[in-house]
A and B are shown apart, each in its own frame.
Chain A
């Protein structure tokens, strides 16, 4: 409906980027940005202009930890109906994925939205557990659903996370030098500009919120390059057709009603302060971890090592690229994924496999 793929404009932006002549590294935290960048070959255009763009922890299915998937797997094994999004069922746990369990007769369902899971609970009368993965973009749908008194046999295995705290953690850890952040358009559609302003103040880092058409991304990177060149550290909004400065106020209000921040581990990160969305006490009845506490006892003292040889941990911090993994496109492919970054359509490894080159 809009002309956001105009190649004339794209060419001009690339020319201008080359003219700026910087050696910089920029991070984004969104699988959809990565998809646009690799699919349209923008990564090589950026490289020619001296700009390296890395994906950070911007794939919700990837940053969800093995422990969380193991909780879902355990509950599915104990006879509950486990419902979740398509990508999440394929992430390997310690021994198997949720999808593998189906072959063993467990009831694992792929749903398009949380409402499908609620309907399943209404229809079957069975215990339906919804594995709720996702950032601020997804969490409002969980919140709205819980505010509408779903049936008692419906519960949520809640793995929702806030994005800004992990950005703080990334910049705080500082193990990768980055000069700018391209912020995710749809998370920002919900949260608005304010959370980023604090980051810019504290770390003096330029930030641009961008949409997902190739021109949006090109423009976002160009705006970052301009800021870096001028030594500025502002929060700019390229995606104004969707992102309002205040965000989506309705969605923020329901989030606030249902969730509160809690310290939480992310894959690839130690515990990140106030980055988890905890269900408030009022909603404990819908908390699968509370309701089925007994079923999860066996996981209490367990360790959850990452798949052997898999470098998702480092990929999620932007430290390495998929090709740096020995297993990439060899032992690990989308039809036989060893780590979450190859499972998810937002994972760096799957995106590289789909549009990029083969193994190094």
Chain B
């Protein structure tokens, strides 16, 4: 029951947004727990968006991984 999955916000009407889970199926979710704009990604759990995915951080993470792996035995913690 605790699964939470990312979805793209298509349309917002008050506290309800139509979101796409990537399979083309749109569903209504409650967005009263987040501040989100159309086009952004949210994490949805039990019918509620619980966070907006931070695209910049996502890209930074990817970069960090690549960097980390190209250098020997550096701790990732220095950058966190």
A joins B in a complex: yes
Residues of A within 8 A of B (CB): 1-4, 9, 12-13, 16, 19, 30-32, 59-61, 85-88, 112-116, 133-135, 137-138, 140-141, 144, 186, 189-190, 215, 219, 222-223, 226-227, 230, 232, 234, 236-238, 240-243, 248, 250-251, 254, 344-346
Chain B: interface secondary structure?
mixed
**Smallest CB–CB gap between A340 and chain B, Å?**
12
- Chain B: residues with Cβ within 8 Å of the partner, total of 36
When A and B form their complex, which 10 residue pairs have the shortest distance between CB atoms, in order from nearest? A113-B47, A241-B58, A85-B1, A141-B48, A240-B57, A241-B57, A12-B69, A186-B4, A189-B51, A251-B33
19 extra interchain contacts, Cβ-Cβ under 8 A, other than A219-B65, A227-B75? A1-B6, A2-B58, A32-B3, A32-B4, A59-B2, A87-B1, A115-B30, A116-B47, A144-B32, A189-B4, A189-B51, A227-B77, A234-B77, A240-B80, A241-B61, A250-B32, A254-B33, A346-B1, A346-B3
**B76 contact from A3, A137, A226, A248, Cβ within 8 A:** A226
Asked whether, in the complex, the Cβ of B34 is within 8 Å of the Cβ of A135, the reply is: no
Is there a chain A Cβ closer than 8 Å to B12's Cβ?
no
**B1 contact from A61, A219, A248, Cβ within 8 A:** A61
Q: Please name the residue on chain B nearest to A216 by beta carbon.
A: B61
Chain B CB within 10 Å, residue with most, of A86, A87, A113: A113
Q: Please name the residue on chain B nearest to A215 by beta carbon.
A: B65
CA distance A186 to B6 in the complex (A): 11
CA distance A144 to B31 in the complex (A): 11
**What 0/1 pattern do residues 30 to 65 of B give for CB contact below 8 A with A?**
101111000001010111101101110110111001
CA distance A189 to B2 in the complex (A): 13
Is there a chain A Cβ closer than 8 Å to B66's Cβ?
yes
**What 0/1 pattern do residues 1 to 30 of B give for CB contact below 8 A with A?**
111101010000000000000100000001
**Smallest CB–CB gap between A192 and chain B, Å?**
11
* Contact A113/B30 with A134-B46, A190-B50 known, Cβ cut-off 8 Å: yes
